Every structure is written in C-alpha cells, then in structure tokens.
Amino acid sequence: MTPRSYDAAKRATDIAVSAAVLAAAAPVGAVIAWRIRREDGGPVIFRGIRVGRGGGTFDILKFRTMSVGAERLGVDATADSDPRLTRIGRVLRRWKLDELPQLVNVLRGEMSLVGPRPQMVWDVERYTAEERRLLDIRPGITDWASIKYRRQGTLIEGHPDPQAAYFELIRPGKMELAMAYLRSRSYGVDLGILGLTALAVLGYPRTDELLSRMVTASSARSSSARPSSGRSSARD
C-alpha cells in the first residue's frame, strides 16, 4: 500500500468506525453523563490541551473522571488510588469508557483511532529531535504503548511523587514503542492494534504475549522491507 492509499484507507476507517461506535454507544454515553452529573453536579466532559499533528494544539475530549478543578493541583500522572478520582471515574477508567468522547476528536481529524497518544505541551517540549518526528502523524486513541501500559495507574501507585514515577518507569518505554510504531506503521498493523486493544479491555490473559509478538514481527518487517517508512513523507 502506497503512503497515499494508506492515508486514505486509514482516514476512511477512522470516520466509519468512529461514527458507528458513537451511534451505537449513545445510550451508554447518556447513562455515563447522568452518573457524572449526579455524583457531584460538575461538567460531564473534560477538555484538556494536547499537541497534535504538526505541533498545533487541540482540545482532547474525555468523560470527566476527577473532581472539579483537579487539574489545578499540578499533578498530571494519576495513580489508581488518587483521591481526586470520583467513584464513577474509577469505573470509567477501568473499562476505558472515559475515552469514548475522543471519537469526536477522530471525526474532526484531530486524532486517529490508532497512533501515539497525544501529549501535553510541557511533555512535547522535552522531545528529542528524533522524538519530534512523532508530530508528523496524527495522535491516536490507542497504540502499542497504550496496551502495554494499560495499568499505568497501578504501576505508579504508592510512589510519593507519581509524576517522577511516570518519567522513570513508564515514559521511556512509551516513547520507544511510539517510535517503533512510527517506523513500521501500516494498515495491517493498525488493524492488529485495534484487535489487541479490544482483547486488552476484555482482560484477555495473553495480551502482553501477543503484543510482544506483534511489535517484534512488525519491526522486523519494517527493517527488511521498507526501512524508510517512518519518514515524514509518509504522512498520516
């Protein structure tokens, strides 16, 4: 598949799947919105500034899972035991339902179903020259790193400084997987990530094993068949 046909197929899939899931999940979304409002009367949707393709910023949409004004406390990494999490918020995060509104971001073209997770401005400012190549493609709802670190809140739980724990225990691995995706991305890889994400959410016990195999196989194909596929000319 040429870069142009890949881009077209990926965007068509983004639109079709996002529209279908939003329509099918509308009743669930209505219940979630009611529960959030019922718990503390605060806003249903959280809007956070993230960096998108080309370095521009956009408002990422999520169902609010934390107490009103929690972001003003200046702690971005969230452990599972974080007292700022609401009761319904814990449930939403457990099943990744808080990310449903991001399908609207996908329809707008700000995100894709598959791609490295969009980062905050202060995190992108720390990017190396190599890591800045990630800004050549649309960020996504899920990717290899999202699957591997799906229990991120558990990994940093108990640390006195969750933010420092994130940078030490999680960020290096996330960036490594993001760069691996950039080098080997293809329509087949994207479909595989979507399927593996579904298994991860459902709690399939061999998810990590399948993930390791997928990353290894995709990276090997990229190195042997098209070593330059990660260049910015193959834009998302």
Alpha-carbon distance 231 to 221, whole Å? Answer: 16
Contact 15, 112 (CB under 8 A): no
In DSSP terms, which residues pair with 46 in a beta bridge?
62
Contact 58, 52 (CB under 8 A): yes
Alpha-carbon distance 183 to 116, whole Å? Answer: 12
Is residue 234's pLDDT more than 60?
no
The string of DSSP codes covering 6-75 is: HHHHHHHHHHHHHHHHHHHTHHHHHHHHHHHHHHHS--SEEEEEEE-GGG-EEEEEEE--B-TTGGGG--
Is residue 79's pLDDT more than 80?
no
pLDDT at residue number 140:
98
Q: Please, which pLDDT band fits residue 236 given cuts at 50, 70 and 90? A: very low
- Using one digit for the tens of pLDDT, what is the confidence trace for 81-94? 788 899 999 999 98
Ranges of H-type helices in 52-206: 87-94, 102-108, 121-124, 144-148, 152-155, 162-169, 171-184, 187-202
Say whether pTM exceeds 0.85. Answer: yes
Percent of the chain with pLDDT over 70: 92
In DSSP terms, which residues pair with 58 in a beta bridge?
50
Phi then psi for residue 79, to 5 deg, are -80, 160
Extract the tokens encoding 134: 């990630």
- The mean per-residue pLDDT over the stretch 179-187 comes to 96
Contacts of 128 by beta carbon, 8 Å cutoff, 6+ apart: none
User: CA separation (Å) from 145 to 39, 63, 149?
Assistant: 32, 21, 6
- Using one digit for the tens of pLDDT, what is the confidence trace for 23-70? 999 999 999 999 999 999 999 999 999 999 999 999 999 999 999 877
Alpha-carbon distance 73 to 63, whole Å? Answer: 19
DSSP type of residue 113: E
pLDDT at residue number 231:
43
Strand 57-63 versus strand 45-51 pairing type = antiparallel
